[in-house]
Amino acid sequence: MDEAAMLVQTTVLDRSVLDRTNVAVVIPALNEALRIREVVEGALGECDRVIVIDDGSDDDTAAKIADLPITLLRHPQRMGKGASLRDGFREAERLGMAAVTTIDGDGQHSASDIPRLIAAANRHPGCVIIGARLRKRASQPLYRRIGNDFGDWGIAWGCGFRVRDTQSGQRLYPASVFTLHDVPGEGFVFEAQLLISAARRAGARVVGVPIETRYQTANAPQVFRKSHFRLFRDLYAITSHVVAQVWRYGHVIREYRRARAHPPMIDDPSGEFTAAHRE
C-alpha cells in the first residue's frame, strides 16, 4: 500500500444525499461507435440522467445511441474534450443536478463504479472524487504509469495537496465545482485545470476511490479503441499549463512544500485498496 495515502473512513454528514436522481453522467465522445452503446446503457443503469456530447465524430457514434433516453449534444466539428465537458456541465446545471460524474466513451471505465463514487461523495461532501486506477495497476502500460505519476506530481503543486491518478477521466464533481465558470484550458488540459480550480476557487479537496485499471492487453477479452491521449504531446501541454499556474499563484517553494505535506486522500471503507495491493 502507498505509505503516503491517507485512508479516510468518515460518516455521512447530515445533508442532501446524492443519488441516481440528482447526479448526471456526462460522457464526452469522439468516434466511439465501437463501445458507446455499452457505455451509455451502463450509465443509464446507474443514473437517471445521461448527457453525451458527440464531439464532431465522423463515424456512427450518434446513431448507435439515438434511440436511448439520453440528452445528446453534438458539435458540428471537433472542439476537444474541454469544450465537450463544458457543454455537458452547462446542461447538467440547467437540469439542476447536484453533481456530475464523468466517464469516457471508450469503455475503459466501468459504469458499475459510479455508485461507489457517489457513496464516497456523500462521505466527503464538497470534494471532487476521482476513480483512481490503483487496483491491478501493474497491467497499465509502463509509459502510461510514468506519465500519470509525473502528472500527479505537477498537478499536486498547483492544487496545494497530493492527488492520486490526476489523469483519470472517471470523476465526480459537486455542483460547487462543475458550475465554476471561466475555467481555462482546452483538451485534456481542462481536466487538469479543473482540479486546480476546484482547490483554489471552491476550496475542494480531491478524494480517490480505487478502481481497476482497464486496458487492452494481448490476453484481455475487451477491445478498446486507441486512446486519444498522446502521452508526450498532451503531458507537455498539461505540464506547461500547470507550471504557468504555479508561477501565477507565487510562493513557488512554499507551495511545493505545502503540497508534499498533504498526502493524497483515498476513500477505502471496505479495505479494497489494501487488499488490491496484496494481489
Q: What is the pLDDT of residues 18-37, one digit of tens each?
A: 999 999 999 999 999 999 99
pLDDT value of residue 105: 92
Instruction: Report pTM.
Output: 0.83
pLDDT, average across residues 79-103? 97
Q: Positive or negative, the Cα torsion across 269, 51, 99, 154?
A: positive
pLDDT value of residue 10: 39
Determine the Cα–Cα distance for residues 270 and 34; give it in Å rounded to an integer: 34
In sequence order, the β-bridge partners of residue 211 are 133
Torsion angle defined by CA atoms of residues 260, 261, 262 and 264, in that order, rounded to the nearest 10 degrees: 50
Among 81, 65, 109, 60, smallest CA distance to 224 is for 109
DSSP letters spanning 121-153: HHHSTT-EEEEEEEETGGGS-HHHHHHHHHHHH
Q: Which residues contact 61 (CB under 8 A, 6 or more apart)?
A: 29, 30, 31, 32, 33, 36, 54, 105
Q: What is the pLDDT of residues 134-155, one digit of tens each?
A: 866 555 665 566 667 777 888 8
pLDDT value of residue 235: 67
CA 137 to chain centre: 17
Is the domain defined by 18-276 classed in CATH 3.40.228.10?
no
Q: Are 169 and 103 in contact (CB under 8 A)?
A: yes
pLDDT value of residue 137: 58
pLDDT value of residue 218: 53
Angle between helices 252-261 and 142-159 (to 10 degrees): 110
Tell me what the pLDDT averaged over the chain comes to.
84
Q: What is the pLDDT of residues 209-259, one digit of tens each?
A: 999 866 555 555 566 556 555 556 666 677 777 777 777 777 778 888 887
199 or 251: which leads in pLDDT: 199
| Domain assignments of the chain as residue spans, ordered by start | 18-276
Cα angle 263, 266, 271 (rounded to 5 degrees) comes to 130
Q: Are 166 and 123 in contact (CB under 8 A)?
A: no
Q: Which residues of 169-196 are buried (b: 16+ CB within 10 A; e: fewer)?
A: bbbbbbbbbbebeebebebbbbbbbbbb
Residue whose entry in the numeric block shows the C-alpha cell 483538451: 187
Determine the Cα–Cα distance for residues 215 and 229; give it in Å rounded to an integer: 13
Which DSSP state fits 33?
T
